[in-house]
Structure 1
């Protein structure tokens, strides 16, 4: 995944509250007038819900079709859950903030494409995701199965000492 250089006032990270998020604390996020939006994910109990709200608000702002947005929100929910569960390199301490000077546990980025959206979640984990069959009575382990079924394509960057990015694309139908 390539980086998005800050070249204009619209491309810089801002200390603002994401639309529709009334969490009472500030979050770093990047609005997306040019088809790119990103936000830091803290790893708190509300993180997955905040990622869903951020995704919905961003895709609504881009006027993406509701069906595509619904699918993207579900995919983001699974990717963020996996990043927080399996990819956090520096877990939060008992007080909550990430340890070892890390700003956040993960990043969520959305990129508008011609007829769809690319959803990408970066974390500090150094293990590649594993698509595995879930047992019929298993209580977890179906996240990547959902991503695989709902996305048009998905994959990940090769993990290294800085972590990895898991991504999925969703295209509009019809």
Structure 2
């Protein structure tokens, strides 16, 4: 049976690195989850680790698309000159000795904020979930190209 075809915007994870361009369409988060699950299965990662990584990627991609894309028309025009118009974010997975590093890059200039829990809030729980499921997480300092938010998940036992 032939291997499933990969999209033109993906780099398969044969050597412990896989990347996927994120379009910003309505199905982007689902595609990122599927890409993560397929890649971690190809790498024969522990199913529990894969489940946690899929949830983490879902939250990181959602945040990148919601908060990491510029709202200012001038900034949108400026970023489109650099190619971000068609690819507002990237997902990268790196296999590590005992787990995986999940990283999502976007063109936004704001740093992620871990909010206080509010039981009645309709949003704002994503980074709490990332914090609970990952072994460590953080971000690069935003610059003219944006930032990368990352999280590591390690196999237990």
Name which of 3, 15, 27 aligns with 1:34: 15
User: How many pairs were matched up?
Assistant: 146
With normalisation by structure 1, the TM-score equals 0.79
Secondary structure class of the residue paired with 2:14: coil
State the alpha-carbon separation in 2 of the partners of residues 46 and 90 from structure 1.
20
Shift of 1:133: 1.1
Unaligned runs of 5+ in 2: 73-78
Poorly superposed stretches of 4+, deviation over 4 Å: 98-101
RMSD: 1.8
Name which of 37, 55, 59 aligns with 1:78: 59
State the alpha-carbon separation in 1 of the partners of residues 109 and 12 from structure 2.
29
1:146 is aligned to 2:129: yes
1:105 is aligned to 2:94: no
Match for residue 163 of structure 1? 146
CA contact (8 A) 1:90 1:124 kept: no
Match for residue 47 of structure 2? 66
Unaligned runs of 5+ in 1: 1-15, 19-25, 92-97
Greater fraction of residues in helix? 2
Shift of 1:32: 1.1
CA contact (8 A) 1:134 1:140 kept: no
Secondary structure class of the residue paired with 1:82: helix
CA contact (8 A) 1:90 1:105 kept: no
With normalisation by structure 2, the TM-score equals 0.88
Cα deviations by residue, 1:23-58 (Å, 9 ceiling, x for unpaired): xxx541000111000000000000000000000000
Name which of 79, 82, 87 aligns with 2:68: 87
State the alpha-carbon separation in 2 of the partners of residues 65 and 122 from structure 1.
25
Secondary structure class of the residue paired with 2:118: coil
Match for residue 118 of structure 1? 101
**Greater RCO, 1 or 2 (C-alpha within 8 Å, sep 6+):** 2
